[in-house]
Structure 1
Amino acid sequence: MTMQSAYEAEVAQGRIKSDPAQLAVLPELERVRFALTQPVQKTGFFKRKAEPIKGLYMWGGVGRGKSMLMDLLYEQVDAAKERWHFHAFMQWVHSEMTEVRKTGVDDAIKPVAKTLSDRLRFLAFDEMQITDITDAMIVGRLFENMFEAGVVVVTTSNRPPTDLYKNGLNRQLFVPFIDLLQDRMVVHELASDTDHRQGRLSGSDVYFTPLNADASVQMNQVWTELSGGCEEELTLHVKGREVVIPRFHNGIARAKFFDLCGKPLGAGDYLALSEAVRVLLLDDIPRLSRQNFNEAKRFVTLIDALYEAKVQLICSAAAKPEMLYVEGEGTFEFERTASRLREMQSDDWMSAD
């Protein structure tokens, strides 16, 4: 089935709504799908090396349908394939490199790249983000090796290649990888005016209070709808430490207040989380006071990170934002957090500048 036919079938069955920006990228998706139906050409005497298949780098704002389109392509590709969320992939790469180093090799990246290229021809990534110089250097060499082996990569991102690892430490070392991406992949902006998630994530649908059985039921319903019933653990590597998010799928994370604010986490941890997820479901925010002052300070820092990164927050809480912190040191400072929590519930917050 062509990508056009597959897309039209989804529209006909009411699972998606037709969008001009999505229709515009279908020819590129079909180009990749069709190319992968062709047999791999072996090189040898009197045979010209086949032109490598260019991948696709789809970028655009949240809710524009990038992941949906990539999943649609993934379903239609009939070749050895794998689909990863980018952060989960990098966790796997770090783990594999650790195992390879135990064998005494000097370069652990090449064996990992060979493992991938031996077992697949098509690699789909969701949410490419580069926030760490170590990851920046690893992913550059890894992709170079995979491209050389003929692996076709399709990825989504919220930013264009030129903005990856923007203002990062020693970014000049990463620039050759950006050039490689633009050479080996077609870069396509999904410039839709419609956020297809806003129908689910707006107004009273994102803040449930008080903490009772009804709030739990509604949080579970949102999680099931957004995650599709799939989940895994997400481990973020932050300055040599591991921050574990208990439940995660396709850019959607879920954790309890204690998981993120009851442990000694800081701004760097929350920034890494904000880079890794598009939506955070946070359960069981308690009333805050001098009795749990440290947790309250962390919560303020968490909300600041989510707010600045435009991460959609869905939560259950003991009270409305203005009544979460009503006594004790820090009450005045919490007013801004309450204001941000209220603003993050508005229908147009995600699309605001």
Structure 2
Amino acid sequence: MATVMQDLYAEKVASGAIDPDPAQEAALPEFERILEGLAQPVRRGLFRRAPAPPKGLYLWGGVGRGKSMLMDLFAGAVPVPARRVHFHAFMQEVHAGMAEARARGVDDAVTPVAKRIADEVRCLAFDEMQITDITDAMIVGRLFEGLFGAGVVVVATSNRPPDDLYKDGLNRALFLPFIALLKERMVVQELAGGTDYRSGRLAGSPVYFTPADAEARARIDAIWQGLTGGETAPLTLRVKGRDVVLPEFHNGAARVRFHDLCGQPLGPADYLAVAEAVRLLVIDDIPRLSRSNFNEAKRFVTLIDALYEARVRLIASAADVPESLYVEGEGSFEFARTASRLREMMSHGWGQAEG
């Protein structure tokens, strides 16, 4: 049996890029099994039967356990047409495809979308699978039935086990068959290591820099490079018919300027979507807040509330310390709560309590 994943993993350990981790090593055979199954030739002919596709993999575990790193190795080794995509972005594409199908008068808009995807790839690799929207919850069952039926192999990472997807969601009973489908067509494996490597890269490093000057940007640039390796792309979140753009995104981490999120006419639904899509957010250039930029200040308060409730890690540069960001004007008294939350989010270990 080939040892592609084991070899790639060993190379990263030997180079010093990662430390060996028993939980990560325990997941390698599952990735290897899928690579071997996908590499089987699809023989065509009247009496020849295509080999059954291998079961997929649902790899779950807490933030920073190394899921994305393993997916990097896997995605680079897949021997067939494949696509790796953040699950949130994928579902936005699905909705767009369904809208196009409906515009053509197609009643069952899910089927052509599933067929198009299956025609393009034999393997789909999803980063950070999560279902929080009732519309997505009602679509994914039929969509994945179509993908699995066409032989598409799905590999997904998530912060939670399948049974916790869409937990406490509206009409969740209608979603349960999808969970059963995942368990039937994918091997479920927990990445149970106790080390949060993302937090480890931040250990001992400040996460709030003031003033927001060239030195602050250079220090955040260094942290960002360590988190992403310089490999970022924009992530567009479709929220109630409008686009919310995160200019830089990689493996659950996003970087924006204050104006990108708070200088735009965005509201609570937009910030909830951001909080659902990322596990770490870098905000550059938070200004002083006052009656002159009252709308931006209100949006910033709403954004921090959404990030706080979702336990998103925060790195920021700002004009001043939290308590001095908003000292005059309407709403300055209420900002004390936001300043307190910012202080808490700056503390060591913030965001590690939940996956």
Cα deviation digits, residues 210-251 of structure 1 (max 9, x gap): 021112222333333333333333222333443232332332
Cα deviation digits, residues 1-23 of structure 1 (max 9, x gap): 42222211110111111111111
Q: Output the CA distance in 1 between the equivalents of 2:214 and 2:235.
A: 27
Q: Output the CA distance in 2 between the equivalents of 1:280 and 1:224.
A: 14
Q: Could you say which residue in structure 2 is the equivalent of 1:303? A: 304
Q: How many residue pairs align between the two structures?
A: 352
Q: Output the CA distance in 2 between the equivalents of 1:122 and 1:324.
A: 48
Q: Could you say which residue in structure 1 is the equivalent of 2:156? A: 155
Q: Could you say which residue in structure 2 is the equivalent of 1:68? A: 69
Matches within 5 A, 1:1-353: 1-40=3-42, 50-352=51-353
TM-score, L = length of structure 1: 0.92
What amino acid sits opposite 1:70 in the alignment?
Answer: M
Q: 1:204 deviation in Å?
A: 4.0
What amino acid sits opposite 1:112 in the alignment?
Answer: V
Q: Output the CA distance in 1 between the equivalents of 2:21 and 2:234.
A: 33
SS in 2 for 1:64: coil
Q: Output the CA distance in 1 between the equivalents of 2:45 and 2:328.
A: 74
CA contact (8 A) 2:138 2:175 kept: yes
Unaligned runs of 5+ in 2: none
SS in 1 for 2:346: coil
Q: Structure 1 residues 252, 118: CA separation in 2 closer, same or farther (over 3 Å shift)?
A: same
Q: 1:324 deviation in Å?
A: 1.3
Q: Output the CA distance in 2 between the equivalents of 1:28 and 1:327.
A: 57
Q: 1:58 deviation in Å?
A: 0.6
SS in 1 for 2:177: helix
Q: Structure 1 residues 250, 103: CA separation in 2 closer, same or farther (over 3 Å shift)?
A: same
What amino acid sits opposite 1:75 in the alignment?
Answer: G
What amino acid sits opposite 2:28 in the alignment?
Answer: L
Cα deviation digits, residues 54-89 of structure 1 (max 9, x gap): 100011110000011111112222111111111221
Q: Output the CA distance in 2 between the equivalents of 1:41 and 1:62.
A: 41
Q: Output the CA distance in 2 between the equivalents of 1:49 and 1:7.
A: 31
Q: 1:301 deviation in Å?
A: 1.9
RMSD across aligned positions (CA): 2.1
What amino acid sits opposite 1:247 in the alignment?
Answer: E
Cα deviation digits, residues 15-67 of structure 1 (max 9, x gap): 1111111111112111111111212366965x777444110001111000001
Q: Percent identity?
A: 66
Q: Output the CA distance in 2 between the equivalents of 1:190 and 1:293.
A: 44
Q: 1:310 deviation in Å?
A: 1.7
Q: Structure 1 residues 110, 327: CA separation in 2 closer, same or farther (over 3 Å shift)?
A: same
Q: Output the CA distance in 1 between the equivalents of 2:351 and 2:226.
A: 19
Moved more, 237-246 or 310-319: 237-246
Moved more, 10-19 or 326-335: 326-335
What amino acid sits opposite 2:343 in the alignment?
Answer: R
SS in 2 for 1:153: strand
CA contact (8 A) 2:63 2:279 kept: yes
Q: Structure 1 residues 271, 58: CA separation in 2 closer, same or farther (over 3 Å shift)?
A: same
Moved more, 288-297 or 176-185: 288-297
CA contact (8 A) 1:203 1:346 kept: no
Unaligned runs of 5+ in 1: none
TM-score, L = length of structure 2: 0.92
SS in 2 for 1:247: strand
SS in 2 for 1:198: helix
CA contact (8 A) 1:80 1:122 kept: yes
